[in-house]
Structure 1
Amino acid sequence: MCFIAGVWSSCAIMQVYCSLHHLISCSSLTPIQRPEMYIIGAQPLCSQLSGLSQGQRKLCQLYQDHMVYIGDGAKTGIKECQYQFRQRRWNCSTVDNTSVFGRVMQIGSRETAFTYAISAAGVVNAISRACREGELSTCGCSRAARPRDLPRDWLWGGCGDNVHYGYRFAREFVDAREREKNYPRGSSEHTRMLMNLQNNEAGRQAVYNLANVACKCHGVSGSCSLKTCWLQLADFRRVGEFLKEKYDSAAAMRIGRKGKLEQVDKRFNAPTPEDLVYIDPSPDYCLRNETTGSLGTQGRLCNKTSEGMDGCELMCCGRGYDQFKTYKHERCHCKFHWCCYVKCKRCTTLVDQFVCK
């Protein structure tokens, strides 16, 4: 089940993706062939999306054309999570096939903090871009103010990514489940809700703050005597890397006397809205554990020469590793031919690989 203790809004985002994938991607009919799914006020889409809270379902009914892009954003977040943690013991996978991240989400750990942040970031990214591409009825190109440091003779306009709208809509949708519940102040549920809201905001802030100005030159023979500039989202890989750094420096928190989160170790600076926070220690991802959702690292590839987390010593948790040889196929001896293509040969080499016991 996606709904655990009534607070898992990030899981609801993933459920939208999974449900949409089942309703649309796996259907013989494309979204264009099923227009009833996008009629404002129509019920088929929202009634078939499981995992939504009451507030999220209302937003779904009002903004049905947004739902596909929430699903796209969730998919982007999943892929980025798997990329960023591909060389870690926890590689953003689960033993539970009924949901994306499974039982790992029950624990308020660093890993859960990252999944909430990257999920919220994916929604901002997808909605902002959909606005620019004219896919949504309630938004269009960015109306961001002209940057003060932009040279006076450069034009400000173009059709930029509407990160302002994406941020606002993602905040309303993603946080809806958390804000609907009235948990007793200081309770474990209330503590987890505050953690989720903080990490949701950190994900949104990452996309918002990393958006930058992009420009295009105009002029005779490419002289670039004039430029038109607009607001553009950063590549999502950069967002993932930024949030991965925040994961590494995430702050351990606990509930304070006033019912607010406070740092366990007050020697460090207080977390800002851009920082990730967690309330529980991470489980041991070395061994498979159905209770915590850990897949374990048995059978994982490792790097014998690395001293990092991808190294065999750390990845295999001291259990040792097996060595075997495998063939590696890659393009090689590439040559450019006039005009205009590149022709490569296919080289095969025998390489050593190492797998955790």
Structure 2
Amino acid sequence: MGVSKHTKFLLGILYLSYCVYGDFLALSSVVALRANFICNRIPGLTPRQRGICRKRPNSIVTVGEGIQMGMNECQYQFRNFRWNCSSFGEENSMFGITHKVDSKEAAFAYAISSAGVTYSIVQACSQGKLKRCSCDQSKKKGRLAPRGWRWGGCSADIKHGLKFSRQFLDAREIRQNKRSLMNKHNNRAGRKAVKVNMETECKCHGVSGSCTLKTCWTTLPKFRKIGDHLIKKYNKAKLVQPFNGGRNRRPVYLTLKRSRHSHAKPRKSDLVYLEKSPNYCDFDPRTGSLGTVGRKCNRTSSGTDGCDLMCCGRGYNTHQYTKTWQCNCKFHWCCYVHCNKCSERTEEYACK
């Protein structure tokens, strides 16, 4: 799957910056470009997002990196599913999410992109790449923590990342409808996934390595941990419906559709969806499904990657090929390496 157009544009800015400024890479070169020039050429931004972009053009590069991070993680998590994150990066928009169905997959796509932007902003702050943030000032060096140790080092500023991600990503939801409520909820679930998975690292101080004094700081986890967290939320995603209120009877908030209690709301950390997912077996522009024709499958698996499920009962083609490589290499004095040539005949299976 290709990279979305917005990411190509942003990475192009980074590459140009590197060519011109070398090691003085990111911020000075991007800021030197006129903000209007950059922001007006990023497709799909809402007016409010363009305003944020003009005020903080250096942050937009970080946003692009976060979206790319989310796309990569989405592809990894769904690599063995019929839907393999195929709706990411195909649309001429800032976020490349083209779901025409308000499904569980759309919920995950929004959540993982929101998590990616939050993560990328927090990381850039800690690395000193952004002007308006750095380390978490509430965890200043030497301040006593509730558990008896003291804060030290540079704690990741998760509060700033959450705030920026919310302001920027929620700004695209300009319509007051049920899909906008769904997207905002899943954006928040993605941000929350980063927050609840933050880690604390500590260093002991004292004679002979004793821990008479301990200083700690908060750090970001591996992004894979956040992806694993959200795929669990995807598997337990909640079907919701809008509650219409006000004078115009517009959607006000979301309620659980299959609940014994009327107007029960989903948890903030839940992924939510409005419509049942399509089966993703066949190409269908209406739903954004690319189908599974040509997808590789595992003939012996009974899981989602198995040929029976992946190919939707259409069967599969078998491709045989021989793989060769150098093996059993030995160094001889003096001075050459001798290798044998090994080969293996293998088979691949692809859906009809």
Identify the TM-score tier after normalising by the shorter chain.
0.7 to 0.9
Are the counterparts in 2 of residues 40 and 61 from structure 1 also a CA contact under 8 Å?
no
**Does residue 1:17 correspond to 2:10, yes or no?**
no
Provide Cα deviations, 1:37-88, integer angstroms capped at 9, x if missing partner.
4159742221222211111111111111211110110010000000000000
Deviation at 1:353, TM superposition (A): 2.1
What TM-score, normalized to structure 2?
0.81
2:121 alignment partner, one of 124, 127, 130 = 127
Distance 1:354 1:293 in 2: 25
Alignment CA distance shift 1:355-1:135 (3 Å): same
Alignment CA distance shift 1:212-1:351 (3 Å): same
1:20 counterpart letter in structure 2: L
Distance 2:325 2:160 in 1: 43
**Does residue 1:93 correspond to 2:86, yes or no?**
yes
Higher relative contact order (CA 8 A, sep 6+): 1
- May I ask how many residue pairs the two structures share in their alignment? 326
1:194 alignment partner, one of 181, 186, 189 = 181
- In structure 1, stretches of 5+ residues that fail to align are 1-13, 184-189, 336-343
Once the two structures are superposed, the pairs formed by residues 38-187 of structure 1 within 5 Å of their partners are: 38-39=31-32, 42-94=35-87, 97-99=90-92, 104-145=98-139, 150=147, 152=148, 154-178=149-173, 180-181=174-175, 183=176
Q: Which has the larger radius of gyration?
A: 2
Counterpart of 2:290?
Answer: 295
Counterpart of 1:187?
Answer: none
Deviation at 1:309, TM superposition (A): 0.6
Distance 1:349 1:267 in 2: 58
Deviation at 1:119, TM superposition (A): 0.5
2:38 counterpart letter in structure 1: L
Are the counterparts in 2 of residues 297 and 316 from structure 1 also a CA contact under 8 Å?
yes
Provide Cα deviations, 1:277-317, integer angstroms capped at 9, x if missing partner.
11122123111223322221111111122111111111110
Corresponding residue SS for 2:320: strand
Distance 2:185 2:301 in 1: 34
2:155 counterpart letter in structure 1: G
Query: Over aligned residues, Cα RMSD in angstroms?
Result: 3.3
Alignment CA distance shift 1:161-1:328 (3 Å): farther
Deviation at 1:26, TM superposition (A): 7.2
